[in-house]
C-alpha cells in the first residue's frame, strides 16, 4: 500500500504516517471495544480521558518536558497564539521580538495590540540576524524557531542571560528534534505539521509564567484556566488529540540508523534535509537562498532559475506522484516540506525528479 | 453493522451518522483519488477548497441562510464565543442577557469582561422567564436557545421590536430545526452535537454586524477578518469541516415521514422527543422537571425518584448498549441527548429499558 501513495510535500496540513491513518480508519466505528468512534466520545468520559492522558505522557516523554512545564491542548493555531501569548504573558508591558521571516513578523504585529513591542533584530528570511537589542525589563522575548515560509531554522536556541523568558513559536519543527527546555519559558505550535490534524495547538508553559493574564484575556484562552482544567475547560478538539497521540506512539517506536524515538526521527530529518540541500547546491538550475547555518530541516524553499518553467515543473512533479510543491504565494517558487512523516524514499524520489527535470529542461 | 453498534446518548461530542463514519474510514488514505487523506491536504489547495465550498453551500441550503449572512468556520467552541461575541459586537457598550440555565449564565459572566451586562430575565433552568427588561441602547441581546445541561429549548425565537440584534447560542440544537433568520443577528454553535467533531465552531453573522470589533479583539477571532478570508485567515480545522460536510450531505438525503432534509430531521426529532417525554411522564418512577412548553428535543434530563438506584441504572443501561446516560455533574441524575444522528430505534430501546428497569426496581 505504501508504494501506491504519492509523496505529499504540503507545508501543512501535511502528510501523516500511513500506519497512523490505517489505525484511525480501522478504529473509526469502534475505538477499543467501546462501540464508539473517538469523535463520538464525551470528553469527560473514561475512554477519552485515557486517550488524553496517554497522549500527554508520550509527548512529555518524547520531548523530555520537565515537570515544571504544563502541556496544554488548545485551539486557534499559531495565529491565535500570536494574541494569546501576549494576553497571558506580556502583562501589558514590553515584548521583544526577533524577526527572521514571515511568521515572526506577524507575531510582532499582533503583539502590538497588547504590549509595547520592540523588534530586537530583523532579517528578511535569509539568515538569523546578530546583535539583538534586548530590553532587560521585557516580559518576554519572542522568536520563531522555524520559519515555515522562508525556510529559516534555529539549530541552537538563544541563551538569554538577562532572565527574561524566551517564547518560541516552533509550529513547523515541533517534535522533529529535541528542545533545550533550560532556555525556554513557553513553546507553542500548531499540530498540522508534524503532529496531527489542523485545529489542535500545543502549548508548553513553565509554571511560574501562569497566572499573569491580562483582564481582557478570554477565559477559554487563559493558560492558567486551561492548565487548571487539564485542557478541559472547554471541549478540546478530541479527535485531533487522538490522532496526535497515535503519531506520538509512532515516533516512539521508530527505528532509524541504530537510533529510536525522537533521536531516530531527528537523524532521519538530518539525512533527508542533507540529501535535498546537496542536490539543490549541486545544480545551477535550482537555488535555495537561505544561509547554510540556518537552513530548515523541515521546509526547503527553492527557485528554478527560469521561473517560466514553474508550471511545467509542478505538473510533471504531480505526474510522478510528488504533490504540493508550490511555494508560498508571498515568496513564489517551490517549497518542499519534509516533515517527520515524509519517508527518506520521498526525498530520494524528489531528488531524482529534480535531476531528471534539469536534464530535460536545463 | 448498524445493529451491532450501541446507542450513544452523550451530550457532546456525540453520536454521528454511521454512514458518515463509514465514508470517513473508507476515504482515510485517499480522498477522491487525490492520494491524500483530508487531514494531509493544504487548506489552500483545490481539493480542500472544494470540500469547504460544498460544505458551506449545503449548510446554507439546509438552513436557508439568507444572502446577507456570512457563515464562518472557526475554533474555540461555545466558551470561546462567549468572549469572541462581545469582542466583536458589544463595542464595549451594553449587552442584555436572558438567563435560562447554565450556558446563558456562563455567557453573561464572560461578557462582563468586555461590556456592561444586564440580566434581562432569569430562571434556574426550568422554564423560559417572561417579562424581559431589555435596554433599547444595548449592542445586542444574548439568549441560549437550547440549554444543553438543563434541557430548556426555545421553540420560538423572541421577536425583538427595538431593533437590537439578537445573538443566539444554538450549539446543541443547531441543524435540528429551521432558524427564523428574520429574528437573528448572529448565531453560533460548536459542531460537536449535531454536526461533527469537536474543535469546529460555526458562526452565522449578518453582514451589517461585521466591522465593529474592539481593538483588543485577537485578529484570528475578528469576524470581519475571518469573513474577508473565507475562514482561511488561519488554518481552519480542515478535517472537522470535512466530516461536517458529510453530515450536511447525510441530512440533505434523509427521508422520514414523507419529508426530506431538514424537515425530515426535524420531524424525526419531534417524534423521538415525544416518545421519550411520554414515557417519562407516564411514570412516577422517573421525573423531568422542565416546563412542558420549553422542553428540549435534544437534551432530556431526568431523575430517578430514588437516586440510590443511579449506579445500577447506568450499569444496566450500558449492558443493554445504551451509553453515556449520566447527567451533567452540576445537576446530577440522568440525561439522554438525542441529537440528529440518534435513530428512532435508539429512543425506542431507551424507552423499553426505562420501562423494564422500573418494572424490576420500582
User: Which position has the grid cell 511560574?
Assistant: A208
Q: Is the peptide bond before A13 cis (omega within 30 degrees of 0)?
A: yes
> Which chain B residues are Cβ-neighbours of A16 within 8 angstroms?
37, 39-40
Which candidate from B6, B42, B216 shows the least CB-CB separation from A13? B42
A103, closest residue in chain B (CA to CA): B234
Asked whether the predicted pLDDT for residue B13 surpasses 70, the reply is yes
**Average pLDDT of span B140-146:** 98
| B303 confidence band (pLDDT: 50, 70, 90) | very high
Angle at A139 between CA A138 and CA A141, to 5 degrees: 75
Residue-wise pLDDT for A119-170, tens only, equals 999 998 899 999 999 999 999 999 999 999 999 999 999 999 989 999 999 9
- CA distance to partner chain A, nearest, from residue B130 (Å): 30
- Give the whole-angstrom CA distance, residue A222 versus residue A214: 9
**Average pLDDT of span A107-114:** 98
> Which chain A residues are Cβ-neighbours of B25 within 8 angstroms?
25-26, 28-29
Helix H, strand E, coil C: the string for B57-72 is HHHHHHCCCCCCEEEE
* Catalytic residue list contains A169: yes
Question: What is the distance, to the nearest Å, from the Cα of residue B136 to the centroid of all Cα atoms in its chain?
Answer: 29
CB contact under 8 A, A199 and B14: no
Which candidate from A6, A22, A219 shows the least CB-CB separation from B83? A219
Which candidate from B18, B40, B321 shows the least CB-CB separation from A10? B40
**Average pLDDT of span A174-184:** 98
B18 in Cβ contact with B5 (< 8 Å): yes
Q: Strand pairing partners for B173?
A: none
- Pick from B93, B156, B147: which is nearest to B122 by CA? B147
**Size of chain A in residues:** 362
CA distances for A126 relative to A152, A288, A295, angstroms? 7, 10, 9
Residue-wise pLDDT for A55-71, tens only, equals 999 999 999 999 999 99
- Give the whole-angstrom CA distance, residue B195 versus residue B249: 11
- Choosing from B31, B123, B169, B250, the catalytic residue is B169
Q: Strand pairing partners for A118?
A: A96
Residue-wise pLDDT for B43-89, tens only, equals 999 999 999 999 999 999 999 999 999 999 999 999 999 999 999 99
Residue-wise pLDDT for A330-361, tens only, equals 999 999 999 999 999 999 999 999 999 999 99
Q: Strand pairing partners for B73?
A: B202
- Give the whole-angstrom CA distance, residue A330 versus residue A314: 17
Residue-wise pLDDT for B204-229, tens only, equals 999 999 999 999 999 999 999 999 99
Residue-wise pLDDT for A274-303, tens only, equals 999 999 999 999 999 999 999 999 999 999
Asked whether the predicted pLDDT for residue B3 surpasses 60, the reply is no
> Which chain B residues are Cβ-neighbours of A113 within 8 angstroms?
215-216, 218-219
> Which chain A residues are Cβ-neighbours of B35 within 8 angstroms?
5-6, 8, 321, 323
A106, closest residue in chain B (CA to CA): B219
Disruptive mutation site among B80, B199, B349 for chain A (greatest number of A CBs within 10 Å): B199
Burial readout B47-69 (b: 16 or more C-beta within 10 A, e: otherwise): bbeebbeebbebbbebbebeeeb
What pLDDT does A328 receive?
A: 94
For the beta carbon of residue A279, count every other beta carbon within 10 angstroms.
20
Which candidate from A82, A190, A237 shows the least CB-CB separation from B199? A237
Query: Collapsing DSSP states into helix, strand and coil, what is residue B312?
Result: helix
CB contact under 8 A, B13 and A41: yes
What pLDDT does A1 receive?
A: 38
> Which chain A residues are Cβ-neighbours of B80 within 8 angstroms?
75-76, 218, 220-221, 234
* Catalytic residue list contains B103: yes
DSSP A183: G
Phi, psi of A280 (to 5 degrees): -65, -45
Question: What is the distance, to the nearest Å, from the Cα of residue A93 to the centroid of all Cα atoms in its chain?
Answer: 28
CB contact under 8 A, B80 and A41: no
Domains observed in chain B: 21-251 (3.40.640.10), 256-361 (3.90.1150.10)
Whether the CB of B37 is below 8 Å from some CB of chain A: the reply is: yes
CB contact under 8 A, B8 and A80: no
Angle at B306 between CA B302 and CA B311, to 5 degrees: 75
Is B219 annotated for ligand binding?
A: no
- Give the whole-angstrom CA distance, residue A166 versus residue B71: 38
- Choosing from B58, B123, B150, B193, the catalytic residue is B193
DSSP B326: B
Sign of CA pseudo-dihedral B122, B128, B131, B134: positive
Listed by number, the residues of chain A in 61-100 with a beta carbon closer than 8 Å to a beta carbon of chain B are 75-80, 82-84, 87
CB contact under 8 A, A83 and B199: no
Disruptive mutation site among A2, A42, A49 for chain B (greatest number of B CBs within 10 Å): A42
Listed by number, the residues of chain A in 177-196 with a beta carbon closer than 8 Å to a beta carbon of chain B are 190, 192, 196
> Which chain A residues are Cβ-neighbours of B234 within 8 angstroms?
76-80
What pLDDT does B2 receive?
A: 43
- CA distance to partner chain B, nearest, from residue A238 (Å): 6
B268 in Cβ contact with B128 (< 8 Å): no
| B195 confidence band (pLDDT: 50, 70, 90) | very high
Whether the CB of B239 is below 8 Å from some CB of chain A: the reply is: yes
Query: Collapsing DSSP states into helix, strand and coil, what is residue A118?
Result: strand
A109, closest residue in chain B (CA to CA): B219
Residue A271 belongs to what H/E stretch? helix A262-281
| A48 confidence band (pLDDT: 50, 70, 90) | very high
Which candidate from A28, A218, A239 shows the least CB-CB separation from B80? A218
Complex-level ipTM: 0.97
Angle at A219 between CA B294 and CA A171, to 5 degrees: 120
Asked whether the predicted pLDDT for residue A2 surpasses 50, the reply is no
What's chain A's average pLDDT?
Answer: 97
Q: Is the peptide bond before B286 cis (omega within 30 degrees of 0)?
A: no
Asked whether the predicted pLDDT for residue A187 surpasses 80, the reply is yes
* Catalytic residue list contains A31: no
- Give the whole-angstrom CA distance, residue A188 versus residue A202: 6
Asked whether the predicted pLDDT for residue B4 surpasses 80, the reply is no
For the beta carbon of residue B133, count every other beta carbon within 10 angstroms.
10
CB contact under 8 A, A5 and B30: yes
Query: Collapsing DSSP states into helix, strand and coil, what is residue A128?
Result: coil
Asked whether the predicted pLDDT for residue A53 surpasses 90, the reply is yes
Amino acid at each position: 500500500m505504501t508504494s501506491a501513495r504519492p509523496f505529499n510535500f504540503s507545508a501543512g496540513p501535511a502528510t501523516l504516517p500511513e500506519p497512523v491513518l490505517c489505525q484511525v480508519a480501522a478504529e473509526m466505528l469502534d475505538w477499543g471495544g467501546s462501540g464508539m468512534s473517538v469523535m463520538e466520545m464525551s470528553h469527560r468520559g473514561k475512554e477519552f480521558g485515557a486517550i488524553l492522558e496517554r497522549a500527554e505522557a508520550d509527548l512529555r516523554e518524547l520531548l523530555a518536558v520537565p515537570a515544571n512545564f504544563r502541556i496544554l491542548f488548545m485551539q486557534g493555531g499559531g495565529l491565535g497564539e500570536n494574541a494569546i501569548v501576549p494576553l497571558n504573558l506580556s502583562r501589558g508591558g514590553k515584548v521583544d521580538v526577533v524577526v527572521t521571516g514571515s511568521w515572526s513578523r506577524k507575531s510582532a504585529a499582533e503583539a502590538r495590540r497588547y504590549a509595547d513591542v520592540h523588534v530586537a533584530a530583523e532579517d528578511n528570511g535569509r539568515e538569523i540576524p546578530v546583535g539583538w537589542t534586548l530590553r532587560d525589563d521585557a516580559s518576554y522575548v519572542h522568536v520563531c524557531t522555524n520559519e515555515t515560509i522562508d525556510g529559516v531554522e534555529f539549530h541552537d536556541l538563544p541563551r538569554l542571560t538577562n532572565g527574561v523568558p524566551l517564547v518560541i513559536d516552533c509550529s513547523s519543527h515541533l517534535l522533529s528534534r529535541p528542545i533545550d527546555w533550560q532556555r525556554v519559558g513557553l513553546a507553542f505550535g500548531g499540530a498540522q505539521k508534524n503532529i496531527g490534524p489542523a485545529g489542535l495547538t500545543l502549548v508548553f508553559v513553565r509554571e511560574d509564567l501562569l497566572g499573569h493574564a491580562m483582564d481582557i484575556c478570554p477565559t477559554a484562552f487563559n493558560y492558567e484556566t486551561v492548565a487548571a482544567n487539564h485542557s478541559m475547560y472547554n471541549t478540546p478538539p478530541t479527535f485531533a488529540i487522538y490522532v496526535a497521540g497515535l503519531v506520538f506512539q509512532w515516533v516512539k517506536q521508530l527505528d532509524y540508523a541504530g537510533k529510536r524515538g525522537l533521536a531516530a526521527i531527528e537523524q532521519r530529518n538530518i539525512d533527508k534535509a542533507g540529501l535535498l540541500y546537496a542536490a539543490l547546491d549541486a545544480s545551477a538550475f535550482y537555488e535555495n537562498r537561505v544561509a547554510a547555518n540556518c537552513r530548515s530541516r523541515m521546509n526547503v524553499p527553492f527557485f528554478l532559475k527560469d521561473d517560466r518553467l514553474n508550471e511545467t515543473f509542478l505538473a510533471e512533479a504531480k505526474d510522478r506522484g510528488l504533490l504540493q510543491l508550490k511555494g508560498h504565494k508571498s515568496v513564489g517558487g517551490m517549497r518542499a516540506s519534509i516533515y517527520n512523516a515524509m519517508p527518506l524514499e520521498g526525498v530520494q524520489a524528489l531528488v531524482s525528479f529534480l535531476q531528471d527535470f534539469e536534464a530535460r529542461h536545463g
